[in-house]
């Protein structure tokens, strides 16, 4: 047991010590993973808030996780991550400020949804949820490749 424990610790240390600049492939893979968590939390929130699922006690934890990911959105598109298996359009990097503004609304709208859920006012939550959807859609319409 002792041996196993120390070998796990050594592996973790080794992994940490080799952490380096991500490859574009990993940056894209990670970006998609974070975006998918956002879609998942939005689906969860919508189903609980819409009364389809009885899981009220998890509403805030979904919203907290969504806001954390929303905060990260603006950091998910570093220069050089626009080619490969991605639907991200070059316009993101051509239009730096426009995109930064859109990413900022992902942050502020998800934070506002979290705060509305904390507040517990149904109308405010509904409004904030719609703003999050509008933020997703606005950014995707302009900056994501259409299938
Ligand atoms: C989601 C999801 C999106 C957005 C968008 C909002 O849950 O996966 O891409 O919300 O549909 O309009």
24-143, CATH topology level = 1.20.120
- H helices of the chain, in order, are 2-17, 24-49, 59-72, 91-94, 96-119, 122-143
130 pocket-lining for ligand 1 (C-beta < 6 Å) = no
pTM for this entry: 0.87
Q: What is the mean pLDDT of residues 63-76?
A: 98
The residue among 52, 49, 51, 50 whose CA lies nearest residue 62 is: 49
Compute, in angstroms, the gap from residue 66 CA to the centroid of ligand 1. Answer: 12
pLDDT at position 111: 99
Query: Does the C-beta of 136 come closer than 6 Å to ligand 1?
Result: yes
Nearest CA to ligand 1 atom 8: 39
- Residue bearing the CA closest to ligand 1, atom 2: 39
Reported as a single tens digit per residue, the pLDDT across 116-126 is 999 999 999 99
Domain ranges for the chain, please list them: 24-143
């Amino acid at each position: 047991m002792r041996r196993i424990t120390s070998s796990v610790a050594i592996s973790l240390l080794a992994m940490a010590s080799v952490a380096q600049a991500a490859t574009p492939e990993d940056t894209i893979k990670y970006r998609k993973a974070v975006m998918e968590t956002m879609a998942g939390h939005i689906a969860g929130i919508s189903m609980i808030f819409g009364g389809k699922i009885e899981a009220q006690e998890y509403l805030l934890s979904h919203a907290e996780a969504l806001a954390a990911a929303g905060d990260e959105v603006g950091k998910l598109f570093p220069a050089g991550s626009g080619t490969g298996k991605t639907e991200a359009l070059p316009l993101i990097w051509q239009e730096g400020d426009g995109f930064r503004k859109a990413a900022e609304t992902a942050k502020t709208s998800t934070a506002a949804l979290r705060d509305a859920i904390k507040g517990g006012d149904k109308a405010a939550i509904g409004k904030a949820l719609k703003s999050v959807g509008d933020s997703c859609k606005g950014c995707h319409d302009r900056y994501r490749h259409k299938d």
